[in-house]
């Protein structure tokens, strides 16, 4: 298996192009199941998770046409056409590695009246049950059965009638699934306490472009008037706010200055404010965001929360940055209960971090030291790369399949701004 080798100490300077958002793309792709017409997605990132979801779409008889195969290009233009569904089953071997696979449940149920989906896998960052997905489907009129590791869902004759659902806790994935099911219901559906993440706004905008009727986009109260059919559309995937925030942390920990070309500041307000509080200079315009670290980093207290709060997907990267800050920082994780698995690996590099339940105390250190470390999940792996960029000596990061799920050609982008980083085969 491959590993990444980082020789730390280089100050990052230059421009990094920001790719299409993984978390948005994995929600936009299953929208193609809602129509017989082609759905074309531009700016689709080249990622293992995207490839996996494309294989899953093929399971249902979806044809897939790809433009932008040249290796020097970032992103692709991909057309999905599900003119005739040949299956309504998402099998275990295609679903087990990717939690986002559950997002075919809503659109398949809405269009075909039935869906059988394996219980999903993904990062081991804590208990992420799909009960809210299933309860939302039941509120829209579906009958749900769990058997032998599969969800079996059926709509009444004549299709899902629609209904109201008040999410007991904010859930991004369940909101997305409910939205995709509701757009083809025969009646009106209302979702309250819905998630408000920019990726959900992106989903709503694509669905509206396909002919859906959705009110309250961007708010926690969504009203969906079901329509009989949806048309195809061409749509550009939003920029990846987590990728942009990750590279901002990478620039800051090296005392660098990096332009994040294509980043959308309005989608990452909490992350940018956290960086400002740490002492990083942030400027933005309609074409991107520039970050510069021209002063010592300062300790801060941070708490993750649903949007517009600080994204849980930025917690590990900010923790790595705070390892080099002056003073003591406290990070509180409110979304997932097992998202500090990167802490022992950072401590191997000389960090001083203690955890107690969902709280981590980070005492800044003068230097980090390169070491062999192992990624435990997607964002944790990026935190190790960030630490390695500032560490003395050589850092080797293993289990790259985590990184490849969410960062398009990471080492190439970091090389663009002066990092000494390479991917090599493991001996």
99 annotated as a binding-site residue: yes
Q: Which residue in 21, 75, 41 sits closest to 209, CA to CA?
A: 41
Spatial distance between the Cα atoms of 411 and 388, rounded to a whole number of angstroms: 12
Q: Which residues contact 202 (CB under 8 A, 6 or more apart)?
A: 21, 24, 27, 28, 237, 238
Question: CA gyration radius for the chain?
Answer: 21
Structure tokens at 255: 């005392």
285 annotated as a binding-site residue: no
Spatial distance between the Cα atoms of 408 and 309, rounded to a whole number of angstroms: 25
Strand pairing class (394-398; 359-363): unpaired
196 annotated as a binding-site residue: no
Structure tokens at 69: 């195969």
306 annotated as a binding-site residue: no
Evaluate the CA torsion angle 171, 215, 190, 104 in order and state its sign.
negative
Catalytic (active site) residue 323: no
Tokens 């309504």 correspond to: 88
Evaluate the CA torsion angle 112, 114, 118, 119 in order and state its sign.
positive
Spatial distance between the Cα atoms of 328 and 37, rounded to a whole number of angstroms: 55
130 annotated as a binding-site residue: yes
Evaluate the CA torsion angle 124, 125, 131, 133 in order and state its sign.
negative
Spatial distance between the Cα atoms of 15 and 200, rounded to a whole number of angstroms: 28
Q: Which residue in 280, 277, 229 sits closest to 252, CA to CA?
A: 280
Single out the catalytic residue among 31, 123, 185, 323: 123
16 annotated as a binding-site residue: no
278 annotated as a binding-site residue: no
70 annotated as a binding-site residue: no
Q: Length of the chain in residues, anyone?
A: 427
313 annotated as a binding-site residue: yes
423 annotated as a binding-site residue: no
Distances (CA, A) of 115 to 51, 155, 163, 285, 406: 22, 9, 19, 44, 27
Spatial distance between the Cα atoms of 203 and 214, rounded to a whole number of angstroms: 11
Distances (CA, A) of 126 to 92, 123, 132, 333, 338: 20, 8, 16, 11, 5
Residues making up the binding site for UDP-N-acetyl-alpha-D-glucosamine: 99, 128-132, 313, 335
Supply the residues annotated as catalytic.
123
Residues making up the binding site: 22-23, 99, 128-132, 313, 335
Residues making up the binding site for phosphoenolpyruvate: 22-23
């Amino acid at each position: 298996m491959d590993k990444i080798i980082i020789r730390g100490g280089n100050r990052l300077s230059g421009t990094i192009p920001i790719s299409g958002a993984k978390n948005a793309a994995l929600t936009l792709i299953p929208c193609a199941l809602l129509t017989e017409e082609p759905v074309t997605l531009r700016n689709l990132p080249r990622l293992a998770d995207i490839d996996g979801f494309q294989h899953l779409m093929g399971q249902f008889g979806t044809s897939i046409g790809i433009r932008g195969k040249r290796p020097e290009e970032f992103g692709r233009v991909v057309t999905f056409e599900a003119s005739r569904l040949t299956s309504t089953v998402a099998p275990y071997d295609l679903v087990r590695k990717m939690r986002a696979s559950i997002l075919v449940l809503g659109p398949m149920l809405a269009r075909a009246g039935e869906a059988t989906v394996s219980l999903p896998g993904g990062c081991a960052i804590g208990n992420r049950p799909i009960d809210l997905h299933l309860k939302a489907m039941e509120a829209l009129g579906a009958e749900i059965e769990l058997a032998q590791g599969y969800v079996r869902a059926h709509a009444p004759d004549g299709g899902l009638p629609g209904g109201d659902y008040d999410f007991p806790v904010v859930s991004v994935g369940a909101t997305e699934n409910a939205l995709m099911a509701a757009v083809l219901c025969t009646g009106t559906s209302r979702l309250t306490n819905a998630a408000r993440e920019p990726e959900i706004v992106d989903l709503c905008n694509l669905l509206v472009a396909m002919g859906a009727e959705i009110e309250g986009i961007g708010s926690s109260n969504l009203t969906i008037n079901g329509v009989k059919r949806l048309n195809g559309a061409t749509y550009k995937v939003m920029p990846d706010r987590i990728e942009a925030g990750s590279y901002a942390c990478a620039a800051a920990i090296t005392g660098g200055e990096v332009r994040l070309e294509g980043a959308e500041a309005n989608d990452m307000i909490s992350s940018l404010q956290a960086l400002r509080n740490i002492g990083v200079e942030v400027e933005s315009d309609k074409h991107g965001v520039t970050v510069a670290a021209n002063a010592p980093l300062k300790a801060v207290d941070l708490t993750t929360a649903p949007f517009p709060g600080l994204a849980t997907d930025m917690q590990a990267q900010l923790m790595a940055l705070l390892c080099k800050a002056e003073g003591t920082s406290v990070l509180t994780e409110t979304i997932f209960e097992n998202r500090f698995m990167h802490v022992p690996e950072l401590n191997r590099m000389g960090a001083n971090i203690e955890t107690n339940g969902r709280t981590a105390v980070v005492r800044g250190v003068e230097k980090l030291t390169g070491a062999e470390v192992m990624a435990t999940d997607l964002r944790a792996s990026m935190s190790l790369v960030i630490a390695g960029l500032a560490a003395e000596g050589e850092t080797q990061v293993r289990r790259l399949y985590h990184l490849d799920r969410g960062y398009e050609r990471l080492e190439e982008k970091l090389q663009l701004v002066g990092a000494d980083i390479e991917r090599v085969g493991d001996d």
